[in-house]
């Protein structure tokens, strides 16, 4: 006889092979039944307890005791760790741009809502992905393509708030929503590059135009300043010349009996002769003399003759000045040369 777990067995019972097998099975089942009293739960997990198939609570990490099978059973460990879902979600913006939004979602079970998280959703990851896709597409449709880049924080906050409201009732909470830069199609990238290039060319042309405008404005201002200075110089020189001519004319009138008109005509003729002399002083130029040039010379000679025939004694200084003036006129206007044949033809024509 021997005793096992309070039961007495006769040594004769286990002498046959069948009895040995039955004893081993009984011992195994007895150990399994004893094990059903205990619940071993890993860290960051819980074990759901069901009594006759109905939820009656859960056990946290560590070793705990429950009613044995078949009265109560512990379900497999249910994780409370934070999980991540990564999506490459295609969305359409408000301005009809199709882009891909890389979205990473971090979620976990709410510790106080273990029952809902365990029983409400059949496949939590796929169902949460559906919520993310629906909310993200709705938010993206209200924004332009540029706003998807510039307002990512606002986009993330809106998506998270919408998801929290939707899945909190199922025992889950959103820990973070991470949205990377939208990825446009290659056609959109090429189009945007063309737009940027055209904008740069437009800015360059505008800058070139402004530079040319400034250059011409400054050149015009410089030309105006130079012309103003030149005009002041010419005005000053003419004023000096006029003053000199006035003094010369006054001195000339004081020494002669000519009228003011005769004296002015004489001075103008002298100026004309000097102009012709200066123009003819450089080679390669043609000087055109008007038809009344000889008439002016005759008037000048008449004035000089009148000066020469003027009554009254003259000083040697006056005689020298008049002689010089007459010589100047004769030098600038030499007498016309004619031959005898020409004179004879002219006389016959006159007859």
The rounded distance, in Å, linking the Cα atoms of 95 and 198 is 21
Report field, pTM of the whole predicted structure over 0.95: no
Top-confidence residue, 325 or 95: 95
Instruction: Tell which of 184, 200, 230 closes a domain.
Output: 184
Report CA torsion sign: 52, 54, 57, 61: positive
Same domain, 125 and 172: yes
Same domain, 6 and 56: yes
Within 74-185, residue ranges assigned H as helices are 114-119, 124-140, 145-150, 152-167
Same domain, 155 and 89: yes
Instruction: Compute the average pLDDT of residues 122-151.
Output: 85
Same domain, 34 and 62: yes
Whether 30 maps to a domain, the answer reads yes
Task: Give the CATH number, domain containing residue 132.
Answer: 3.30.479.30
Question: Whole-number mean pLDDT of the chain?
Answer: 76
Top-confidence residue, 188 or 106: 106
CB 307 within 8 A of CB 329: no
The rounded distance, in Å, linking the Cα atoms of 103 and 331 is 107
Per DSSP, what are the bridge partners of residue 255? none
Report CA torsion sign: 58, 61, 66, 72: positive
pLDDT above 90 as % of the chain? 1
Q: How many domains does the chain have?
A: 3
Q: Highest mean pLDDT range out of 116-125, 270-279, 299-308?
A: 116-125
Whether 161 maps to a domain, the answer reads yes
Q: What is the pLDDT of residue 11?
A: 54
Same domain, 158 and 86: yes
% helix, strand, coil for the chain, step of 5: 60, 20, 20
Structure tokens at 173: 């909470």
Whether 236 maps to a domain, the answer reads no
pLDDT range class, residue 274, cuts 50, 70, 90:
confident
Same domain, 98 and 24: no
Whether 288 maps to a domain, the answer reads yes
The rounded distance, in Å, linking the Cα atoms of 140 and 159 is 10
pLDDT range class, residue 98, cuts 50, 70, 90:
confident
Same domain, 65 and 92: no
CB 263 within 8 A of CB 256: yes
Whether 245 maps to a domain, the answer reads no
Residues 6+ apart with CB under 8 A from 86: 102, 103, 104, 105
Domain range for 37:
2-78
CA dihedral 57, 62, 67, 73 (to 10 degrees): 60
Distance of CA 33 to the CA centre of its chain: 78
- Note the pLDDT tens digit of each residue in 302-318: 555 555 555 444 454 44
Same domain, 73 and 97: no
Residues 6+ apart with CB under 8 A from 75: 47, 48, 49, 50, 118
CA distances from 265 to 218, 262, 277, 306, 319 (A): 46, 5, 18, 14, 21
Instruction: Compute the average pLDDT of residues 271-277.
Output: 77
pLDDT above 70 as % of the chain? 75
Same domain, 23 and 107: no
CA distances from 291 to 294, 295, 296 (A): 7, 8, 10
- Note the pLDDT tens digit of each residue in 194-233: 888 888 889 889 898 999 989 889 888 888 888 889 888 8
Whether 201 maps to a domain, the answer reads no
Q: How many helices (H) and strands (E) does the chain have?
A: 10, 12
Instruction: Tell which of 43, 78, 113 closes a domain.
Output: 78
CB 256 within 8 A of CB 318: no
Whether 270 maps to a domain, the answer reads yes
Same domain, 112 and 143: yes
CA dihedral 325, 328, 333, 335 (to 10 degrees): 80
Whether 170 maps to a domain, the answer reads yes
- Note the pLDDT tens digit of each residue in 43-79: 989 998 988 888 888 888 888 888 888 888 888 888 8
Residues 6+ apart with CB under 8 A from 83: 106, 107, 108, 125
Q: CB-based burial of residue 303 (10 Å sphere; 0-12 exposed, 13-18 middle, 19+ buried)?
A: buried
Q: Is the pLDDT of residue 133 over 80?
A: yes
Same domain, 15 and 55: yes
- Residue 12, CA atoms < 13 Å, CB-side half-sphere: 0
Same domain, 102 and 56: no
DSSP string, 18-77: HHHHHHHHHHHHHHHHHHTTEEEE-TTEEEEEEETTEEEEEE-SEEEE-PPTTTEEEPPP
pLDDT range class, residue 301, cuts 50, 70, 90:
low
Instruction: Tell which of 167, 184, 201 closes a domain.
Output: 184
């Amino acid at each position: 006889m021997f005793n096992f777990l309070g039961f007495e067995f006769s040594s004769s019972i286990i002498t046959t092979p069948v009895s040995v097998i039955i004893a081993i099975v009984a011992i195994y089942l007895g150990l399994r039944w004893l094990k059903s009293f205990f619940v071993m739960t890993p860290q960051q997990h819980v074990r759901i307890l069901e009594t006759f198939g109905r939820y009656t609570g859960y056990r946290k990490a560590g070793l705990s005791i429950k009613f044995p099978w078949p009265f109560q059973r512990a379900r497999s460990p249910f994780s409370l760790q934070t999980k991540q879902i990564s999506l490459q979600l295609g969305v359409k913006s408000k301005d009809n741009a199709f882009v891909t939004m890389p979205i990473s979602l971090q979620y976990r079970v709410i510790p106080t809502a273990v029952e809902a998280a365990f029983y409400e959703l059949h496949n939590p990851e796929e169902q949460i992905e559906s919520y993310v896709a629906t909310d993200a597409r709705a938010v993206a449709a209200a924004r332009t393509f540029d706003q998807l880049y510039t307002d990512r924080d606002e986009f993330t906050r809106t998506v998270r708030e919408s998801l929290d409201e939707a899945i909190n009732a199922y025992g889950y909470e959103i820990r973070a929503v991470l949205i990377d830069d939208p990825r446009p199609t290659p056609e959109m990238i090429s189009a945007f590059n063309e737009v940027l290039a055209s904008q740069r060319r437009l800015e360059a042309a505008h800058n070139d135009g402004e530079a040319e405008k400034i250059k011409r404005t400054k050149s015009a201002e410089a030309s105006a300043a130079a012309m103003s200075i030149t005009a002041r110089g010419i005005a000053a020189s003419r004023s000096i010349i006029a003053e000199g001519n006035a003094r010369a004319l006054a001195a000339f009138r004081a020494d002669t009996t000519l009228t003011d008109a005769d004296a002015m005509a004489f001075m103008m003729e002298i100026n004309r002769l000097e102009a012709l002399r200066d123009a003819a002083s450089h080679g390669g130029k043609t000087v055109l003399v008007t038809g009344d040039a000889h008439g002016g010379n005759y008037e000048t000679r008449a004035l000089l003759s009148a000066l020469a025939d003027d009554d009254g004694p003259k000083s040697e200084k006056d005689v020298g000045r008049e002689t010089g003036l007459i010589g100047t006129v004769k030098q600038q206007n030499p007498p016309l040369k004619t031959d005898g044949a020409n004179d004879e033809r002219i006389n016959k024509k006159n007859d």
